[in-house]
């Protein structure tokens, strides 16, 4: 397994204006890298935080079969409108994953909503309820215990995530998620993704959150 890769932080697909202020999509290059190296044509690829559908779009382009869940209705509708496999996107909650009729999957790639350790709103309810960082990590562990149930034996599960720097305080989000999800899935190790862009370097890091890199945490359903 390569433990450090360099990828372009470029979004090939334009999104409607309504999503531009909260555009936290994968770069297509990330999805392409993992689908090329971890899957084959015809494989079922799961994204439990489907967002604006990057995993869906790239999977269809690469002749994989995407399935996924998205909490926000406008994002869900955007994906549904633009993909071929319209029945495979579910408007739902990853914390209810086992209530949906999902098939056994070959590969899972997803990036959760992020949370700083001092935040007090629950990002898994679109910040509509109160929460704590401890609860968020526990929910993340619970979600991945459900993912385990629907993955094929020996399949890979990849979580893309960054640590977060805000006002001089670092939340070790990537490391905390690695630790908590390791309680339910076998942790194979991390891949550092060094992001390169074609614009000027951003003060907050090219990736954002104070960093130029993120982590892909690679787990296996053993």
Ligand X SMILES: C[S@@+](CC[C@H](N)C(=O)[O-])C[C@H]1O[C@@H](n2cnc3c(N)ncnc32)[C@H](O)[C@@H]1O
In the complex, the residues that contact ligand X under the rule CB under 6 A are: 24-26, 49, 51-54, 69-72, 75, 93-95, 111, 113, 124
Question: CA-CA distance, 70 to 94, in Å (whole number)?
Answer: 8
Count Cα neighbours of 173 within 13 Å in the Cβ-side half-sphere.
29
Minimum distance of ligand X from residue 87's CB (angstroms): 17
CB nearer to ligand X: pick between 38 and 49: 49
The residue nearest ligand X at its CB is 51
| Pairing mode, strands 164-166 and 169-171 | antiparallel
Minimum distance of ligand X from residue 206's CB (angstroms): 17
Residue pair 38/52 in contact (Cβ under 8 Å)? The answer is no
CB nearer to ligand X: pick between 186 and 202: 202
Minimum distance of ligand X from residue 222's CB (angstroms): 25
CB nearer to ligand X: pick between 86 and 186: 86
Minimum distance of ligand X from residue 207's CB (angstroms): 12
């Amino acid at each position: 397994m390569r433990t450090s890769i360099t990828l372009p932080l470029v979004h090939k697909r334009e999104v409607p204006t309504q999503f531009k202020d909260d555009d936290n999509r994968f770069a297509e290059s990330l999805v392409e890298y993992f689908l090329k190296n971890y899957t084959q044509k015809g494989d079922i690829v799961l994204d439990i935080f489907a967002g604006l559908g990057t995993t869906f779009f790239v999977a269809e382009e690469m002749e994989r079969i995407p399935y996924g869940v998205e909490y926000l209705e406008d994002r869900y509708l955007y994906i549904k409108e633009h993909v071929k496999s319209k029945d495979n996107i579910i408007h739902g909650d990853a914390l209810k994953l086992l209530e949906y009729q999902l098939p056994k999957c070959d590969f899972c790639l997803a990036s959760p909503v992020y949370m700083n350790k001092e935040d007090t709103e629950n990002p898994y309810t679109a910040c509509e309820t109160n929460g704590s960082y401890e609860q968020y990590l526990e929910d993340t562990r619970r979600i991945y215990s459900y993912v385990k149930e629907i993955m094929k034996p020996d399949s890979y599960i990849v979580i893309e995530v960054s640590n977060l720097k805000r006002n001089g305080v670092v939340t070790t989000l990537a490391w905390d998620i690695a630790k908590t999800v390791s309680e339910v899935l076998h942790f194979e190790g991390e891949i550092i993704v060094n992001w390169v862009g074609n614009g000027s370097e951003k003060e907050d890091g090219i990736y954002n959150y104070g960093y130029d890199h993120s982590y892909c945490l690679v787990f296996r359903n053993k």
